[in-house]
């Protein structure tokens, strides 16, 4: 073997070109076979008029971690869902272990040895881990006890190095543990190929390291892993190959020796004018800004009862000043939802106080809080944020239906004024729509989020509370939102930014507060941002 000849990179079918531990310390020898495990050819899938996958080719060899990289909406999850039998492709061919197969349902995929861990948990919340793992397995259809299959499960856990309680109802377990259960669930059915869809969505840095360790143990057992992600950093850290998708098409495949950040960024995005970071985020600057003397928001000894599956808030106190963005880093289920609830519905406040510009908002109604200059954008865009079958106009009015400006004689809605406000929002935010009477559900995710944010600025505000505003959005929409947040801050108003993505928070926050199990674990000033430390605080370590 001539070691001076650089290996060729073929974009689509690298059969015969699989690296064999030749170049560089990054590649582990013998991890990947030459044998092709999976081939997807000419896959096409459309949902109505929207083409999600346009003639996609994807192939991987047995063994190793194969990345499937692309920004939100690129089609990665759709492609894997077709492989898993959850969706049906319109056209195309699948070959698994050398023979052509037709996969019409998850049952068939499972029988072939394909397992999938979805981005959002697909465990039954009411059942225990054991019950979830044995759900749907063949054999012993009638009488059962988890007892029969238990030893097998425990052995698996040991082999892979994952552990979790078997007999606790899943809804009481945190996201990181649920993921482990789903991995074991796939293995328990004899999966040879495991697809992980955005597994780090609910994990912090330290948990990601742990996950990688577990994945490597899986590889050692001979299992092949496909990792779906939009984070370049993850691919660079862990993948043997990466296939990059963009807007329903495959841009190419790169193997480990050739992987570098610039190449991947170029393949992922067409938008040349946006600078992209390693976490596939638009790079936006945070200029110096003097913060106000007095706090816009003061939370004092706040205590809130736990909601469903949450922990509530205990003795929480912090200040937020005008001219600053305060990032709240917290794993879902640790009290942040209750914090936002308390600020929006202070009538449910039990203990402690919340003051806006010095005045307490205890006991006020939501509309009264809005009247004090506070507004918010909800965590779940569609489920919590929009009137789904309503027009854009109706959606922009939401939250302002009590304001004098939009009412006539306190009883009738002033639709002219509402229309004006809607048109202003459409223009200012560049929302792509023919009119304000257009149904909001026809807008893209990014445009919907623009309406939700625009709604906040229909009337003057001094504090914006925003929760995961960029989830699932394309890169230009993310950039738009980032710039908007900075704009609000630079004007001297305050932003309370709750986000699970630490990369985003670290880019644009003046300070980051960590909340774990309803308590404040610390506030990091900008010059002390450390991803690992903050991540540890988020899981209470």
Nearer to other proteins, 356 or 538 (CB): 356
Give the nearest distance from C-beta 329 to other proteins in angstroms: 23
Backbone angles phi, psi at 255, to 5 degrees: -95, 165
Nearer to other proteins, 127 or 164 (CB): 127
Nearer to other proteins, 415 or 529 (CB): 415
Taking the C-alpha atoms of residue 259 and residue 262, their distance in angstroms, rounded to an integer, is 9
Nearer to other proteins, 110 or 302 (CB): 110
Nearer to other proteins, 284 or 538 (CB): 284
Give the nearest distance from C-beta 51 to other proteins in angstroms: 14
Give the nearest distance from C-beta 14 to other proteins in angstroms: 31
Characterize the bridge pairing of strands 65-69 and 114-117. Answer: unpaired
Nearer to other proteins, 394 or 504 (CB): 394
Which stretch of DSSP H or E encloses residue 412? strand 412-413
Backbone angles phi, psi at 527, to 5 degrees: -75, 0
Give the nearest distance from C-beta 305 to other proteins in angstroms: 16
Task: Using alpha carbons, select from 271, 342, 268 the residue that is nearest to residue 302.
Answer: 342
Nearer to other proteins, 59 or 425 (CB): 425
Q: Which two tokens stand for residue 499?
A: 């986000």
Based on its alpha-carbon atoms, the radius of gyration of the chain, rounded to whole angstroms, reads 25
Whether 102 and 278 have beta carbons less than 8 Å apart is answered as no
Nearer to other proteins, 169 or 517 (CB): 169
Give the nearest distance from C-beta 448 to other proteins in angstroms: 12
Long-range pairs, 256-264, Cβ under 8 A, ≥24? 256/19, 256/24, 256/26, 256/27, 257/7, 257/19, 257/22, 257/23, 257/24, 257/26, 257/27, 258/7, 258/9, 259/235, 260/236, 261/232, 261/236, 264/69, 264/232, 264/235, 264/236
Nearer to other proteins, 136 or 222 (CB): 136
Give the nearest distance from C-beta 351 to other proteins in angstroms: 23
Give the nearest distance from C-beta 161 to other proteins in angstroms: 23
Task: Using alpha carbons, select from 140, 37, 40, 138 the residue that is nearest to residue 91.
Answer: 40
Give the nearest distance from C-beta 188 to other proteins in angstroms: 10
Nearer to other proteins, 220 or 416 (CB): 416
Give the nearest distance from C-beta 326 to other proteins in angstroms: 21
With a CB cutoff of 8 Å and minimum separation 6, the contacts of 456 are 375, 376, 377, 399, 464
How far does Cα 76 stand from its chain's mean position? 14
Whether 339 and 297 have beta carbons less than 8 Å apart is answered as no
How far does Cα 532 stand from its chain's mean position? 19
With a CB cutoff of 8 Å and minimum separation 6, the contacts of 132 are 123, 124, 170, 181, 185
Backbone angles phi, psi at 193, to 5 degrees: -130, 125
Give the nearest distance from C-beta 479 to other proteins in angstroms: 10
């Amino acid at each position: 073997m001539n070691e001076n000849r650089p290996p060729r990179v073929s974009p689509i079918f690298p059969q015969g070109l699989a690296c064999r531990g030749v170049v560089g310390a990054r590649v582990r020898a013998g991890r990947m076979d030459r044998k092709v495990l999976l081939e997807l050819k000419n896959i096409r899938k459309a949902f109505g008029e929207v083409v999600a996958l346009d003639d996609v080719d994807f192939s991987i060899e047995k063994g190793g971690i194969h990345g499937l990289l692309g920004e939100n909406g690129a089609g990665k999850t759709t492609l894997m869902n077709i492989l898993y039998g959850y969706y049906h492709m319109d056209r195309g061919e699948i070959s698994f272990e050398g023979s052509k197969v037709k996969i019409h349902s998850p049952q068939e995929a499972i029988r072939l040895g394909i397992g999938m861990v979805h981005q959002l948990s697909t465990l039954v919340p009411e059942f225990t881990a054991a019950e979830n793992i044995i759900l749907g397995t063949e054999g012993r259809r009638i009488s059962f006890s988890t007892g029969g299959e238990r030893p097998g499960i425990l052995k698996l856990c040991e082999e892979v190095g994952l552990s979790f309680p078997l007999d606790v109802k899943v809804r009481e377990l945190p996201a990181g543990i649920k993921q482990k259960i789903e991995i074991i669930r796939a293995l328990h059915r004899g999966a040879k190929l495991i697809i992980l869809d955005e597994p780090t969505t609910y994990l912090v840095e330290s948990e990601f390291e742990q996950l990688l360790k577990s994945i490597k143990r899986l590889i050692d057992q001979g299992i092949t892993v496909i990792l779906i992600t939009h984070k370049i950093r993850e691919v660079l850290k862990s993948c043997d190959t990466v296939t990059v998708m963009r807007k329903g098409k495959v841009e190419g495949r790169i193997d480990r020796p050739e992987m570098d950040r610039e190449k991947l960024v170029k393949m992922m995005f067409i938008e040349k004018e946006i600078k992209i970071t390693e976490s596939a985020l638009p790079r936006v600057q945070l200029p110096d800004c003097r913060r106000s003397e007095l706090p816009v928001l003061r939370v004092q000894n706040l205590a809130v009862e736990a909601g469903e599956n949450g922990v509530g808030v205990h003795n929480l106190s912090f200040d937020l000043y005008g001219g600053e963005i305060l990032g709240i880093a917290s794993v879902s289920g640790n009290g942040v939802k209750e914090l936002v609830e308390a600020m929006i519905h202070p009538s449910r406040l039990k203990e402690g106080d919340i003051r806006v510009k010095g005045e307490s908002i205890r006991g006020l109604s939501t509309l009264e809080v809005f009247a004090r200059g506070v507004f918010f954008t909800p965590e779940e865009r569609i489920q919590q944020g929009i009137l789904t079958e309503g027009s854009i106009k109706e959606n922009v009015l939401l939250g302002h239906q009590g304001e004098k400006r939009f009412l006539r004689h306190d009883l009738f809605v002033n639709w002219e004024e509402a229309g004006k406000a809607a048109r202003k929002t459409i223009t200012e935010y560049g929302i792509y729509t023919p009119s304000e009477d257009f149904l909001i559900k026809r807008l893209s995710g990014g445009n919907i989020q623009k309406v939700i944010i625009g709604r906040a600025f229909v009337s003057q505000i001094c504090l914006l509370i925003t929760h995961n505003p960029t989830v699932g959005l394309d890169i230009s929409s993310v950039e738009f939102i980032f710039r908007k947040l900075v704009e609000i801050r630079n004007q001297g108003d305050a932003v309370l930014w709750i986000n699970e993505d630490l990369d985003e928070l670290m880019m644009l926050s003046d300070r980051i507060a960590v909340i774990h199990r309803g308590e404040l674990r610390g506030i990091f000033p900008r010059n002390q941002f450390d991803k690992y430390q903050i991540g540890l605080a988020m899981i209470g370590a």
